[in-house]
Amino acid sequence: MAKEIVVIIGGPGTGKSTIIDGLVAKGYSCYPEISRQVTLEAQENGIDQLFLEKPLLFSELLLEGRIKQYQDAQNELQEIVFIDRGIPDVLAYMHYIGDSYPEFFDKACHNYKYTKIFMLPPWREIYISDNERYENYEQAKEIYKHLVETYQKYNYNLIEVPKDTVDNRILFILDQI
């Protein structure tokens, strides 16, 4: 059986991390969103918002980390691995801020292909801002559009997860695999 590498995507504050936590609780192999880790490491080095201050460096670090997650997922013993955000997310965010990026970003999207992509739509009722999430809800909706466009550019079929309880969203995802 081929390895299933499943990505959960969506704009900020759509419930990705909560779903990943729920999948972990059910015993699934899951990889967390790495942008918070990159942001916190930059803050420890005196850069408050690396994405805003040095977007290309931030994006290169994310790309490197997401490629490593993909490669690590290939070596997991479990047949299904869930990842919070994928490689094309990096390009979607660069499109969102209107910044350019080197060609190897695009090549990475072609070289590392995921099995399934689950998209969480913007959901105002659960959206919360915090120290690492600087976007407001309107910006989150705009990011969502860029995510859809970017993943479709790389020929992914996006499966939209309905707005529902965490347990029902997890059941929906598991039923589609």
**With the CA atoms of 49, 50, 56 and 61 taken in that order, what torsion angle do they form, in degrees rounded to the nearest 10?**
-130
Enter the DSSP assignment of 125.
Answer: G
Q: Which of residues 81 and 43 earns the better pLDDT score?
A: 81
Residue 124 has pLDDT above 50, yes or no: yes
Beta bridge partners of 10: 120
CATH number of 4-175: 3.40.50.300
Mean pLDDT score, 151-166: 96
Query: Helix or strand or coil: residue 90?
Result: helix
Give the pLDDT confidence of 86-104 residue by residue, as tens digits.
999 999 989 998 888 899 9
Mean pLDDT score, 168-176: 97
| pLDDT-derived band at 150, boundaries 50, 70, 90 | very high
The whole-number pLDDT of residue 134 equals 64
- By percentage, how much of the chain surpasses pLDDT 90? 65
Q: Which residues contact 144 (CB under 8 A, 6 or more apart)?
A: 10, 11, 14, 121, 122
The whole-number pLDDT of residue 1 equals 46
